[in-house]
Amino acid sequence: MTADLPARIAAGDRRALARGITLVESTLAADRVAAEDLITALLPRTGGALRVGVSGPPGVGKSTFIESFGLHLVAGGRRLAVLAVDPSSRISGGSILGDKTRMSALAQHPSAYIRPTPAGDQLGGVARHTREAILLCEAAGFDMVLVETVGVGQSETAVVDMTDFLVLLAQPGGGDDLQGIKRGIVELADLVLVTKSDGELAAAAGRAAADHQSALHLLHGPEAAPVLLVSGLTGAGIAEAAAALDALQAKAAASGRLAGKRAGQAISWLRSELVQQVVEWLAQDPALAAGLAAAERAVAAGRALPSAAARRLVREGLRMGGDSR
């Protein structure tokens, strides 16, 4: 890390922001220390953005929606960062290229910043990087950060743990067919947007919205997430979606629920880091790493109780006086 990186990020320099995000994504131990120093230096400047998860099944229209929604926001004077977690990037080179073309106008706008993030090997890693990237975007002065994930179940729960609100995009389609979205996920949503509400699909989109709305009402009553119709292609419903999000924010901020949620997220982030770092600490020492591998085999085979095996490993680690860096 160069000494002026925090100041350059704070000044809104996007090349510096890109370098900062690359640093938090790095798996090198030395970069981890530098990334932590960088974010710690910028921490007083964080927290100022509305953090919004945008999720939905493959092909639902996430990128098209974000382009249209983002252009609406920046036209209104907002500064928007988009962190797109790209699960396909490891295998196929990803849809990053596709996203650049789908979000081309937004990508070129001076008030917008789009950053695709390779999903990498494990969800835990993505979660840490994405949380830290959100903080860097806030320090750089963005007032809204969208985190785009493909809805495959696990990623929504991760995104719910790091954002203020989850916007779920749903396919037009009728009946009780939830079109690839798991029920549990719909329940996590703060706002449901049925996409492609245009042309031939408009009628199906309307039916899908009615179905989702009545299902959510049965579950949550008057507190149910609103369901709106949007079209990323025509721009229909985009302003209404932005207004719905503003209303959610105003309500959650006034009640103190937003601050409480963020505090809870920070504490669970700490706890998940503790778990991760204890495992890394054990893995550093060859004997302890072997002990961990043996414990994993034993619990997998049903020969050991996870709680007892974990206690033994931690005791052993402490006895050996291991240094976790």
H or E, element range at 317: helix 306-319
- Least distance in Å: CB of 205 to ligand GTP? 9
Q: Select from Mg ion, ligand GTP, none the partner in contact with residue 60, using the beta carbon and a kind-dependent cut-off of 5 to 8 Å.
A: ligand GTP
Q: Which is nearer to ligand GTP, 85 or 292 (CB)?
A: 85
Q: What is the spatial distance between Cα 81 and Cα 190, in angstroms, rounded to a whole number?
A: 20
Which residue lies nearer to ligand GTP by CB, 233 or 314? 233
Q: Which does 196 bind (CB under 5 to 8 A by kind): Mg ion, ligand GTP, none?
A: ligand GTP
Q: Which does 20 bind (CB under 5 to 8 A by kind): ligand GTP, Mg ion, none?
A: none
Binding partner of residue 51 among ligand GTP, Mg ion, none, CB cut-off 5 to 8 Å per kind: none
Q: How far is the CB of 180 from ligand GTP (least distance, A)?
A: 11
Nearest to 61 by CA among 208, 245, 250: 208
* DSSP conformation letters of 175-234: TT--TT--HHHHHH-SEEEE---SGGGHHHHHHHHHHHHHHHHHHHGGGPPPEEE--TTT
**Which residue has the CB atom at the shortest distance from Mg ion?**
63
Binder of residue 58, out of ligand GTP, Mg ion, none (CB less than 5 to 8 A by kind): ligand GTP
Nearer to ligand GTP, 145 or 288 (CB): 145
What's 121's DSSP letter? S
By beta-carbon proximity to ligand GTP, the closer residue of 72 and 262 is 72
Nearest distance from residue 68's CB to ligand GTP, in Å?
8
CA distance 77 to 110: 11
Quote the crossing angle between the two packed helices 257-284 and 286-300, to the nearest 10°: 110
CB of 103 to Mg ion, least distance (A): 9
Give whichever of 53 and 232 is closer to ligand GTP, judged by the CB atom.
232
Q: In what order do the strands lie in the sheet with 112-118?
A: 112-118, 80-86, 144-150, 50-56, 165-170, 191-194, 227-229
Q: How far is the CB of 123 from ligand GTP (least distance, A)?
A: 17
Residue 137 Cβ vs ligand GTP, minimum distance, rounded to whole Å: 20
- 3-class DSSP assignment, residue 137: helix
**Applying CB under 6 A, which residues contact ligand GTP?**
56, 58-64, 95, 102, 150, 195-196, 198-199, 201, 231-233
Partner residues linked to 117 by β-bridges: 85
Judged by CB, which is closer to ligand GTP: 86, or 132? 86
Per partner kind, with CB cut-offs from 5 to 8 A, the member of ligand GTP, Mg ion, none near residue 198 is ligand GTP
| Sequence-ordered strand ranges (E) for the chain | 50-56, 80-86, 112-118, 144-150, 165-170, 191-194, 227-229
Choose between 85 and 252: whose C-beta lies nearer to ligand GTP. Answer: 85
In the complex, minimum distance from the CB of residue 246 to ligand GTP, in angstroms, rounded to a whole number: 21
| Chain position carrying tokens 């006034």 | 254
Tokens 């797109």 -> residue: 84
Interface contacts to Mg ion, rule CB under 5 A: 62-63
